[in-house]
Structure 1
Amino acid sequence: MTATIHHTLATVFGFHEFRAPQQEVIERIVAGEDVFLVMPTGGGKSLCYQIPALHRNGLAIVVSPLISLMKDQVDSLVANGVAAACFNSSLSADEARRVSLQMEKGELNLLYVAPERLMQADFLERLAGMQLSLIAIDEAHCISQWGHDFRPEYTQLGRLRGLFPRVPIVAMTATADPETRKDIIRQLGLEQMTVYVAGFDRPNITYTVLPKHKPFNQLETFLAGRRDEAGIVYALSRKRVEQITERLRSAGIVAGAYHAGLSDTERKRVQDAFQRDDLRVVVATVAFGMGIDKPNVRYVVHFDMPKSVESYYQETGRAGRDGLPSEALMLFGMGDVMTARALIENSNNAERVRIEIQKLNAMVAYAEALTCRRRALLSYFGDQRDHDCDNCDICTNPPRRFDASEHARKALSCVYRVGERFGAGYVIEVLRGSKSQRIIDLKHDRLSTYGIGADLSAGEWENIIRQLIHLGYLVPDYSRYGVLGLSPAARPVLKGETEVILGLPREPIKVAERVQKQVAAKKVYDKELFNVLRATRKAIADEASVPPFVVFSDATLVEMACMLPGNERELRQISGVGDHKLKLYGRAFLEAIAEYPALAQT
């Protein structure tokens, strides 16, 4: 069975080895088991259900929240020679009949549907009479109120196990903290499913947060050297999106606006142009989110701070899905916090407001981090690292450091003394010797840690506690109002066995140029040949009316420009070149590579 799935990986999808934990996940699904998979964007989640769909009898149902995302997935599968289709409201009557006929005749391996379509009584009745190989639920975080993109229509998916008791169910997401993961499993009623958390790290992305200082100028400077690269600029409001787009256009940058206030036709035009590489920059609200399956986005800029770490992680994850060096820049100002808070509080759901305010506070803590950005980001998802990344603004331009071992012991001890039952604000009040009625009523003014931190301001303690969280010594429970608890790593600090070095707050400074990229194992390749191959890809894609990445990804073109294959056998060794694509496109790319030396000399 292992050789068989390896054969499919190579001949259909053009890859030569699995990433961890793809092989184990695929083997479990092929064996008929339920699996919950958390894997970063670009990590290869789709293969984890697409390959089993080709090794189990019947039709695989894939639940996807957006029509545009379904289309991209289906286009890519068809380009690899896989029988796939989507069934949604975008189909004409004739197209819907054709897909229905393919379903009935058993001609499809995979069918993509929206959750609301899947759970319609007549559609479920049709599926009940068919053999299903598996049910895959993409963007599974949408089922949880703790998720950053909760969608009520997803809650009906909890009925699937009862309706299809013998069909393996695969739930997948890139963004789920521990609380959200538990809630997803509970909502789906799949407490026995095997859970795989493949980590959250995207090492090819450089993370940078800059204090806002003439943000339009900062954005234009950042984009100046990237006119040939595809990127997304996110803003919180429709008005801001329009302002940024107009400003970029007046600066000679080809940019398109995307937000919910535009017509369906205009949004589709912008997205299609971006997918075809006819439009390099899209300025968007979060409406331009999960519908993007474009692997060669080289940067994501947050002009405004997003409302949660999950949103930030998922949106920055649109960059570098092909594994090539990419950048995530966020411009941060306290005005963003007030704007985001106002958007959150414009709701009648008190519990939802409480959850989102907690998440906003965590996002602010990330933006103000003085520890390695990657460690701070990963710690939020429970993925603790014991080393810095050397690929973020904090690592490449570190703040002044100080020995905070004594301060850390005081803070950790205070969290312990109050019973690990309070948030950072209360702990700071105890440390500073506040005479609040609540502290007196709880008799916390009698604790040994009461007042031992009176020499520091509340702001200084906030900075220290924030860094202790990012470094993994303190663990906030956002489901309980941010209550702080001690991690196992806190014990050696309390015993004086571990030194704690923290950063001093940095003065807001104007930074005009990007932080120097430091990405390990960067390939050396002929950039002019890469551009020739990109033009070849664009011509083929335009003729086939598909996005260029459906033909080959940038990563595949980079490898071609690096390895210079001279025949079909050598081209077949390039990652991303499967049998079907070799037959369709191989000659055109081999000819472009063969002709390039002569072109380069003219």
Structure 2
Amino acid sequence: METPHSILRKYWKHDRFRPLQEDIIQAVLTGKDVLALLPTGGGKSVCFQVPALLLDGICVVVTPLIALMKDQVEQLKNRGIEAVAVYSAMPRSQIDILLDNCVYGQVKFLYVSPERLHNDLFMARFQRMKVALLAVDEAHCISQWGYDFRPQYLQIAAIREFHPEVPVIALTATATRQVAFDIMDKLAFRAGGVKFQKSFARDNLAFVVRKSENKEKKLLEVLRKVKGSAIIYVRSRKATQDIGSWLSQRGITASHYHAGLSFEERTSRQDSWIKNQVRVMVATNAFGMGIDKPDVRIVIHLHLPENMEAYYQEAGRGGRDEKRAYAVVIFHDADIQNLEVKAEQSQPTGSYLARVYQALCNYFQLAIGSGDGESFDFELQDFSERFHLHPAEVFHALKRLESEGLIQFSESFYSPSAVHMVADRTKLYEFQIANAKFDPIVKLLLRLYGGELLSGFSKISESQIARALKVGQNEVVDILKHLHELRLIIYLPVKDKPQVTFTLPRQDAERLPIDNKRLEERRVLILSKMKAMSGFVTKDRCRMQLIQEYFDEETDRTCGICDVCVKNKKDADDDAFANMRAEVLRVLQGRLLTIEQIETHISPSDRELFVDVIRDMVDEGILEYDSAWKLGIAKQKR
């Protein structure tokens, strides 16, 4: 008889659970509604995937992140577990077949985006599914007090009515006490529902804030001091490329990543970084979701995130192996002002949303009442220029229209080519006899992709088919399109451009179903979150305490390793710091050495103290680096 531990060993090859995982799994298996608050990297997916594999029926997973959804489906399939995903950019025919397989087939996990929940096609099949568990990922999206509120999440309580006995597990990495209460309320937790919460404190992650007028110079200093894999977060796509090139020119291997790159480019760069062929990834916040790299030693923010939730998630990608890692913010005064401006920009008015929505409908030539479920390739720059709008303001309007449930906007959408064989074997045989010229490709499709092609959609490679048939790839595409027109197959060509999907039929722009009062409440909330972020970098308090306080976790304990705690420790123990400084100056008298060489000469018993002293002496201008990144006593101090 299978147990949680045997399932963990069988599919994940692990011998033990992380803290709280087993408690959460046992609560789910006893039929309780569960809220799991686990930090980034805490293993949230295991908390619903393991019990789902022990329960009889399908697990329906609601998540708004298409990239994460597709990644988890792929991971489950690689483990030999049947899983599918349904989201807005899919054609209706594909959704129809996938949902049929969830009712009649062996599918164990159905991932679905929230806007699908009120769709008639989904609702009809959901009622007939044998549902064992309902998992709600990114559960903070259900709360109007959360930083990423999505009204579509409010539909989840309604679909519970069709399977009232089925437990729900809600998961998030970031929720205040108010948001946690709201999640349980809006998801209609039953009596006996429980909350599990891991402390927001990370004992191995040192939060450091550095104020500098020369951020690039400070960035180099930080990367020279802390060895190992690194992520640098910046706001713009251009900055990823500029900073990545700048670092490469200075001998630090770096790549860059943003949503505007092709799928192949993103995948290639991500793989090089994961394999440590490249040390530094310079990225926008499009990078990191679903990436499990445990040995990231440092996460650096060169631009301030919009809120503490986003910052904590991004910083939390450091040190998942539980070894010492650093989360560093490098800022100057102008960054605080820029953050305020961007926070205001991110909250468009109802009238501006109506203007952008009307422009979208004109752009795609949609009549009122049409477009429901349709997806379109979208070029932000072209759209903005055509309608004389500012791209940054349009971007925020699209995200707000998405959160209001009118559209779905995917910046980095990739969907590989797929084929489903509509004809049964008898009709297929008759077609091959009557159309000999198509016989080779039909046989090849069946040989390469087999039963999956007949039961559902199979990912295909046109280039592989072209090589096997010794023809051009364009010819293969033309043949597949022709077979699609003949209704022998359903052929879905590759998509690799930003997508806008209309999740409701086109509305009258003057009567959009938008709550203007809620928009204003959101604006006030977002501005308050922005102020908490600016307070984090300007207040002279233990950084970890500030994070815990923000998430309503009361503690008197200081972390002892953030920049504020180190400074306080130095002030309280002047002798130890003074002695170490004197040792460093003695060793460097009349020569230049690397940090490693200085450490070898001194052999400090307290390495943390040594690193902190070096950092302070550089910050104070007592020590300086030369062009070869060796340390010496600053000229004015000699």
TM-score by length of 2: 0.57
Equivalent residue for 1:213? Answer: 213
- Deviation by residue 1:287-320 (Cα, 9 ceiling, x = unmatched): 3353544444332111122222111111111223
Q: Select the residue among 516, 525, 528 that pairs with 1:358.
A: 528
How is 1:166-181 mapped onto 2 (pairs within 5 angstroms)? Answer: 166-181=165-180
**Equivalent residue, structure 1, for 2:334:** 335
Over 3 Å counting, the alpha-carbon distance change for 1:212 and 1:291 in structure 2 is: farther
Asked if 1:62 is matched to 2:232, the reply is no
How many Å apart are 1:225 and its aligned residue?
Answer: 6.0
* Alignment correspondent of 2:343: 344
Asked whether the equivalents of residues 134 and 168 of structure 1 are also in contact (C-alpha less than 8 Å), the reply is yes
The Cα RMSD (Å) is 3.4
SS at match of 1:378: helix
- Taking a change above 3 Å as real, the CA distance of residues 224 and 395 of structure 1, as seen in their structure-2 partners, is same
1:79-478 matched pairs, under 5 angstroms: 79-88=78-87, 99=98, 102-190=101-189, 192=191, 193-224=193-224, 229-260=228-259, 267=266, 270-271=269-270, 274=273, 279-288=278-287, 290-346=289-345, 347=347, 348=349, 349-398=519-568
Partner of 1:542: none
1:397 is paired with a residue whose SS is helix
The answer (yes or no) to whether the contact 2:300–2:329 under 8 Å persists in 1 is yes
Separation (CA, whole Å) in 2 of partners of 1:345 and 1:294: 34
**Cα 1:180/1:510, change in 2 over 3 Å:** farther
Cα 1:67/1:83, change in 2 over 3 Å? same
> Quick one: structure 1 residues 116 and 161, their matched pair in 2 at CA, closer, same or farther if it must change by over 3 Å?
same
- Displacement, 1:261? 5.3
- Report the Cα offset of residue 256 of structure 1: 3.5
Q: Which residue of 2 aligns with 1:51?
A: 50
Displacement after TM superposition at 1:215 (Å): 0.5
**Conservation of the 8 A alpha-carbon contact between 1:40 and 1:201:** no
Residue 76 of structure 1 and its aligned partner are, at CA, apart by 3.5
1:52-98 per-residue CA deviation (whole Å, 9 max, x = no partner) reads 10111101111222232223323433444433343446879998788
C-alpha separation between the residues in 2 aligned to 1:208 and 1:170? 35
Q: What secondary structure, in the 3-state scheme, does the structure 1 residue paired with 2:330 have?
A: strand
Q: What secondary structure does 2:3 align onto?
A: helix
2:8 maps to amino acid:
L
Do the aligned partners of residues 512 and 125 (structure 1) sit closer, same or farther apart at CA in structure 2, a change above 3 Å counting?
A: farther
Say which is worse superposed, 370-379 or 310-319, in terms of deviation: 370-379
SS of the aligned residue for 2:40 comes to: coil
Show CA shifts across 1:371-402 (max 9, x none). 32222211221222232222222223327879
For residues 100 and 512 of structure 1, what CA distance do their matches in structure 2 show? 67
Tell me the CA shift for residue 50 of structure 1.
Answer: 1.0
Deviations 1:256-297 (A, max 9, x none): 434455566655654465456555433233333535444443
Cα distance in 1 for residues equivalent to 2:179 and 2:622: 38
Would you say the 8 A contact 1:174–1:200 is kept in 2? no
State the shift of 1:47 in Å.
1.7
The more displaced of 123-132 and 240-249 is 240-249
In structure 1, what is the equivalent of residue 376 of structure 2? none
Q: Name the aligned partner's letter for residue 158 of structure 2.
A: R
Structure 1 distance, partners of 2:221, 2:339, is 26
Cα pair 1:221 1:512 within 8 Å, conserved: no
SS state of the match for residue 319, structure 1? coil
Q: Which residue of 2 aligns with 1:494?
A: none
Question: Which residue identity does 2:4 align to in structure 1?
Answer: I
| Structure 1 residue matching 2:231: 3-state secondary structure | strand
In 1, Cα distance between the equivalents of 2:237 and 2:149? 21
Question: When the two structures are aligned, how many residues end up with a matched partner?
Answer: 408
Question: Structure 1 residues 57, 277: closer, same or farther in 2, change over 3 A?
Answer: farther
Counterpart contact for 2:103–2:125, Cα < 8 Å: no
TM-score under structure 1 normalisation? 0.60
- Deviation at residue 357 of structure 1 after TM alignment: 1.8
* Unpaired runs of at least 5, structure 2: 350-518, 573-615, 624-638
Measure the CA separation in 1 of the matches of 2:122 and 2:202. Answer: 38
Amino acid at match of 2:222: F
Distance 2:69 2:185 in 1: 26
- Contact 1:295/1:322 (<8 A) preserved: yes
CA contact (8 A) 2:543 2:562 kept: yes
State the AA in 2 paired with 1:123.
Answer: F
Task: Provide the secondary structure at the position in 1 that maps to 2:161.
Answer: helix
Q: Secondary structure at the match of 2:568?
A: coil
Deviation at 1:107, TM superposition (A): 1.8
Identical counterparts, % of pairs:
38
Post-superposition Cα deviations, 1:292-350, rounded to whole Å, max 9, x if no partner, equal: 44444332111122222111111111223343332211113221111111111122233
The answer on whether the counterparts of 2:33 and 2:190 sit within 8 Å (CA) in structure 1 is no
SS in 2 for 1:323: coil
Distance 1:389 1:361, change over 3 A: same
* Whole-Å separation in 2 of the counterparts to 1:374 and 1:341: 23
| CA distance in 2 between partners of 1:303 and 1:208 (Å) | 12
